[in-house]
A and B are shown apart, each in its own frame.
Chain A
Amino acid sequence: MTDSLVTVKKSGVAQKKVGRRPARVQLDPATINADSKPAQTGQVFNLWYSKWTGGETNGKALLTHSKTRCHLKQDSGYTNADKHVKPDSINRDKFICLYFARGYCCNGKRCEYLHRLPCDLDFFPPTLDCFGREKFSAYRDDMSGIGSFSRINKTLYVGRINSLENNGEMLIAKNFGEFGDLVRTRVVKDRKIAFVTYKLESQAQFAKEAMHGQSLHEDDMNEALNIRWANEDPDPKAQKREREENEMHALETAKKLLKSMNASEQSEAKRQRTVEVPSDDDVEEEVTTKLIEDVKPAKPLIRSIIKNDSLDVFRQLQLKRTREAALVKKVESPEVANGNSGLQSIIGGYGSSSDDDDDDDDDN
């Protein structure tokens, strides 16, 4: 199975496409009882959230070893979501399957989410994580959960490790390296904890779900790792390194932006030229369209919100309306009257401020 995987991975971006193989059904749907409640951990069962509340631990279950685990090499493959993501192209609107990461997606290739590792061609908006869940402005007090959008955190805290004897570092690297490109690992043996840093934030998100409640040795049922987001490293060296990395990243994006801005200007100029000289044949037009396509990834930076421009249009419409109203008084032709009513409906709430004042006066 893995051999076929490698042969398909010939293209430069190997992680992106996992061959032509459909995603594996990780859990037999027949074994799932849809009506079953989770094991009773509290006094009252909340139907809406399907969770227990009340009692000593307020319904919170103790962290136990997870029954399922995601085995990337076996399990990943194409799903229904891959229809919308072209191979080796930037993905902006499809998310990774959370159940897949936890190892219990029973939909297989019919799943509407991606069944693969997130890679550097996936762009998830900063307000959502790679599974499409909403982030929050601040972390929870215990640093668990989905995380925060105010800090780009690529580091995970790994707790409740049973033993780090006999090459704990290797075990950590092996287990966590499966779910993304590790940048660094730091193992603190005295306290039996570890920190793992990934290349991408989305990989950290994936690994956090995939390794939660798992164990370093797969058959060790007594171990259940507790994965949380890491706080900022207090080591001044690490902070300095992070600062430098951020600066480098910012500079790179600046260069990219400048490039795309220049390209868009060129394409704009070219388009204008084609408009001016209609005798030019299709070749030139092709070039322009290509240029525009090249710029596409950075599209949001060229045209942004419904802002001043559109508002200006509305204001012009308003002016036109007043002028036409004056005309109506003079001419009173039915066509203009029709046009006037149409405009009114278009303009709707977009009156100018002076108009507003008038309305207020009327109300008063």
Chain B
Amino acid sequence: MVYKFTDSDTVLAYYALELFRLIRFESKTGIPKMGLKTIQIPETIAIFKRYRRNLLVHILDIYINYYKYILIYNITFSAAIGLVLGALWGALTFATLGLIIGIVAYDMLHKNQYYFFYNLGITKRKLILKVFLINPFFSLLVLAVFLFIFR
């Protein structure tokens, strides 16, 4: 199967690059790695608002709608793991197994909602692929919060 890049891929790539740039900036300047203070949240929000009117972010909204359901199951599962095995394991679970648990739970509990996306031309395979692209971004945030709190 040949994967076709879409508009939302461009937006995701933009945010990934933006995050990469911030991390690189931190490592060069010697400011603590992934400290929340160094991620310029107001600036990021301003960028997001500017793009909000854009069709690309409209498409991203659709994927976020799918992802937020998975996020709820992922957070619940990861928090349970975190309580039993420790916060770091919880954060690692969030980035890996929790995502799969989230997708399986969505498949079991909201199966019919896939038609919401099918009618927009988005296949299940494409949704899952996008979620695997979005999740590392949130995983980094979770990890950053963890490091900020426990360092």
Bound pair (A, B): no
